[in-house]
Chain A
Amino acid sequence: MSENKLNSKVPEGPLSDKWTNHKNHIRLVNPANKRQLEIIVVGTGLAGASAAASLAEMGYKVKTFCFQDSPRRAHSIAAQGGINAAKNYQNDGDSTYRLFYDTIKGGDYRSREANTYRLAEVSANIIDQCVAQGVPFAREYGGLLDNRSFGGVQVSRTFYAKGQTGQQLLLGAYSALNRQISKGNVTSYTRHEMLDLVLIEGKARGIIARNLITGEIERHAAHAVVLCTGGYGNVFFLSTNAMGSNVTAAWKAHKKGAFMANPCYTQIHPTCIPVSGHYQSKLTLMSESLRNDGRIWVPKKKEDVEAIRNGSKKPKDIPAEDRDYYLERRYPAFGNLVPRDVASRAAKERCDAGFGVNKTGEAVFLDFASSFERYGEIEAHVQGKHNATKEEIIALGKKVVEKKYGNLFQMYEKITAENPYETPMKIYPAVHYTMGGLWVDYNLMSTVPGLYVCGEANFSDHGANRLGASALMQGLADGYFVLPYTIGDYLADDIRTGKISTDLPEFKEAEEKVKETISKLFSIKGSESVDSFHKRLGKIMWDKCGMARNAQGLQEAIGEIRTLREEFWKNVRITGEPNELNNELEKAMRVADFLELGELMCVDALNRNESCGGHFREEYQTQDGEAKRDDGNFAHVAAWEFVGDPGKALLHKEELKFENIKLVQRSYK
């Protein structure tokens, strides 16, 4: 263990001045020199598209890479609920400090103060920027922007575009990117997957990528490489991530020297549609915004649970006094709007106790009946219908709810064939986001010089648990407003370097290694499909490194993953050829990396002998089942260095200093 390898480079001075002072003192690159400097951006989601567009506007020559057929399809597009910003348009007491405080507290005091403050500081500007780009946010009748509330906070600071905020923000960033592509400042490589990072004299100078259509292995050089490749939730096989979301780019960088920080911090989102069968390929999220208006409950009596499971009773047959609104009961101050980790664990607790409301016993109700009535009464009043019957009121209320969440209700009905206007939704937690990621300093640079990491792929802002509507904020903050400044400080040293040649031996060597791995995979000719291995890995991870973990389970998981990895390399079957579009090969390359990452996640979870945020170790809980932190021993970032075997990674610690916030036991009661 050593501490000297990590320098967070947090600027001196008071918290609120750090970013401004830093910007004023870092080096700049003049416009003529920028034209000589090339930057590779991998991933074109919110972080990648915004970074690439901004860097190109500044004058750098940019290349973007994505595995999808268009930059617009990156998984940021699926974010539903909204984006936070400390605008205080609602005059409800919001401020930069409050957004910063909520984020640190929500993250269970495991994030770096300076980064989180900067995020809150630039948040308001993101909204200005997006409106200027033509992002159609929801508006009130007066023409001004509307807001809503999200879990873990007591103000309304979330901007949204119905249930499709991620899509609209990504299309905004994509349009900025397109503008630069049309000017020739960005070259976009679609259907390309990064398979290795190339280092020259210890600096990140390029990547090896596979053209997914032709199978060709290509070399691409640059003066700096930016990874915006998202999270690794698909290590669990079932998650709300897109099918193609993967850890490969980040993992290859890890193996080349970038430390992986807090890999065990996984966010399990409380409101997803429950698993319906073994063939299930992914899980669908129901936006957290629904918790604004939905109440979560299970029956109080076991016989009612049985009756619902066998269909002899319907949810509405259970009278109010026999329902357990367990979040309202346990957390009266925040109720149904507790943070995600708390809500997920509470659902698990009820289901483990035998109160789950579907056949598998893994579902709770999300019920809108009270909102139909509440909104209906207001609407009846507005329309002057003072003698409206209860039915009329409920019908009016349903219309109000439809306006707010219509597309989400429709999506739910399409998947489950149940109408949520008539019967409560059934939901259960699912893997959604990973707070862990590649370690970065204040400048978003990893431990590899010249390798920057933005968005979900880095570890920096959310601690051990991310608040709702903060992922979009972070992706765009990193890409639009942070990286474009900080990267110049590094590139100022490169103005005389000249073009980086792809003929250098390091490129040749990396390319050959990638080719070797591919031939090795084809040569195995085993009998088990890639998906089958992936599902087996996912089950180990979910059972033993999921919502609740314990030392024994984690130790078992490490052994099981190592065995599974060996089996994979002996018995995986890849059909088809390497030099063509080959989905099986693509999946195999990704699963091979998940099989290594999974082990490191367990090692990290086993090492962190405390509970915090999304990391819940059963051995460390309070009497009433809340997460019990150990600030004396674990108020640090665990950054792992790869030394040849994921299980033997070296631990480096970055101590977290809290100078502006007092560490307290997080309470939402």
Chain B
Amino acid sequence: MKLTLKIWRQKNKNAHGEMKTYQVDHISDDMSFLEMIDVLNEELVEKNDDPVAFDHDCREGICGMCSMVINGQPHGPGKGITTCQLHMREFNDGDTIYIEPFRADAFPIIKDLVVDRSAFDRIQQAGGFISVNTSGNTIDANAIPVPKENADTAFDSATCIGCGACVAACKNSSAILFVSAKVSQFALLPQGELERKERALKMVEQMDKEGFGSCTNIGDCAAECPKEISLENIARLNREYISATIKSK
């Protein structure tokens, strides 16, 4: 198929950016979206033009590196997938496709479609861990049984890949789904119990410091999440946070 691409080009974080138009031809249904961009970039290199910079690595939907807003949707059309899992069979011959970076004040653009998501690392560093040393001098793994239901729910929360689609989808650029997923994972496991209050407070505090917006219960975050992290996590974070503020006073 033949496609028209409108892509955000921006030389660096201080430069002025704009949408530029490109044509690509001979795109096959079985190509992934990123392979289609590879084809475009190969052509740009041939013309001695600067190829489109974009983040990507594992190309199987798990590393969380790829990050494009395609026709207004983070990771494009299709539910529960990352950009790298999107295939061209979702598009039709002659389509025009708009490709932009994940946009948020807390995610400054580095170049073209590449953004800086280090704010997510700093939120995790603020408290996204259980304070145990790695010496291995701990109790046997089966010493504390964990109800299967809790383990499964904790796993569902832990599947967050930290891509930032929730932030890009939210009109307030809120990171609450991301934060709530981590807080939930540990809150649901006995190992995370001791620090649960402190963890919720610290991670939320850092989230606010990074300049992410507030949650107004729209739910676009969960709708666009490639791992389908549920809104229940946000409810759980709210409970954790409120009970932590009451206790800490």
Contacts and interface: CB of A to CB of B under 8 A. Distances in A.
Interface of A: 50, 53-54, 57, 68-73, 75, 77-78, 87, 89, 122, 125-134, 136-145, 161-162, 164, 166-168, 171, 174-176, 178-179, 181-182, 188, 190, 213, 242-244, 276-277, 279-282, 284-285, 410-411, 414-415, 417, 480-481, 529, 531-532, 573, 575-576, 580-581, 583-584
Interface in B10-36: 11-12, 28-32, 34-35
- Most chain A CB atoms below 10 A, which of B111, B120, B125, B138: B125
B60 A481 contact: no
A527 to B, nearest CB: 8
Contact of B81 (A54, A175, A414): A414
Contacts of B141: 87, 127-128, 130-131, 137, 145
A167 B155 CA distance: 11
- Most chain A CB atoms below 10 A, which of B118, B124, B186: B124
A24 to B, nearest CB: 16
Contacts, number: 216
A145 to B, nearest CB: 6
Interface in B129-177: 129-136, 138-142, 145-148, 151-152, 154-155, 158-159, 161-162
A243 B124 CA distance: 26
Interface string B188-211: 010110000000000000000000
A531 B42 contact: yes
Given A69-B116, A140-B148, A57 B63 contact: no
A242 B63 contact: yes
Contacts of B110: 213, 581
A175 B121 CA distance: 10
Interface residues of B, number: 80
B63 A168 contact: no
Interface string B32-61: 101100110010111011110101111111
Interface of B is mostly: loop
Nearest to B55: A69
A583 B44 CA distance: 13
A456 B171 CA distance: 43
Contacts of B32: 281, 415
Contacts of B45: 529, 573, 575, 584
Contact of A480 (B87, B127, B136): B136
A375 to B, nearest CB: 18
A286 to B, nearest CB: 10
Contacts of A531: 38, 42
Contact of A281 (B35, B80, B81): B35
Contacts of A138: 151, 155
A581 B60 CA distance: 24
- Most chain A CB atoms below 10 A, which of B60, B78, B81, B128: B60
Given A132-B130, A174-B124, A584 B51 contact: yes
Contacts of B146: 139, 143
B123 to A, nearest CB: 10
B12 A73 contact: no
B145 A143 contact: yes
A414 B124 contact: no
Contacts of B111: 580-581
- Most chain B CB atoms below 10 A, which of A54, A77, A138: A77
Given A69-B118, A77-B62, A128 B191 contact: no
Contacts of B116: 69
B65 interface: yes
B106 interface: no
A134 B53 CA distance: 36
Interface string B61-82: 1111100000000000010110
B129 A279 contact: no
Contact of A243 (B56, B89, B142): B56
Contacts of B124: 174-175, 178
A108 B128 CA distance: 42
Given A69-B118, A580-B12, A581-B110, A78 B60 contact: yes
B109 to A, nearest CB: 11
6 contacts: A71-B121, A140-B148, A167-B159, A175-B130, A415-B85, A573-B45
A57 to B, nearest CB: 5
B159 A69 contact: no
Contact of B28 (A129, A167, A277, A411): A277
B129 A136 contact: no
A211 B63 CA distance: 21
A138 to B, nearest CB: 7
Given A68-B63, A281-B32, A142 B138 contact: no
Nearest to A529: B45
Given A53-B134, A129-B136, A580-B12, A72 B59 contact: no
A552 B177 CA distance: 58
A69 B65 contact: yes
A544 B172 CA distance: 55
A144 B138 contact: no
For the complex of A and B, list the 6 residue pairs with the smallest distance between their C-beta atoms, beginning with the closest. Answer: A143-B145, A175-B129, A136-B155, A125-B136, A131-B141, A242-B57
B17 to A, nearest CB: 14
Given A50-B134, A142-B145, A243-B56, A134 B35 contact: no
A407 B158 CA distance: 14
B159 A176 contact: no
B198 to A, nearest CB: 12
B117 interface: yes
A276 B30 contact: yes
Interface in B92-127: 110-111, 114, 116-118, 120-121, 124-127
B133 A133 contact: no
B180 interface: no
B233 interface: no
- Most chain A CB atoms below 10 A, which of B59, B138, B141, B192: B141
Contact of B136 (A71, A122, A279, A581): A122
Given A69-B65, A414-B78, 9 more contacts: A70-B162, A72-B121, A132-B139, A161-B155, A243-B57, A243-B59, A282-B60, A529-B42, A575-B48
B142 A57 contact: no
B139 A128 contact: yes
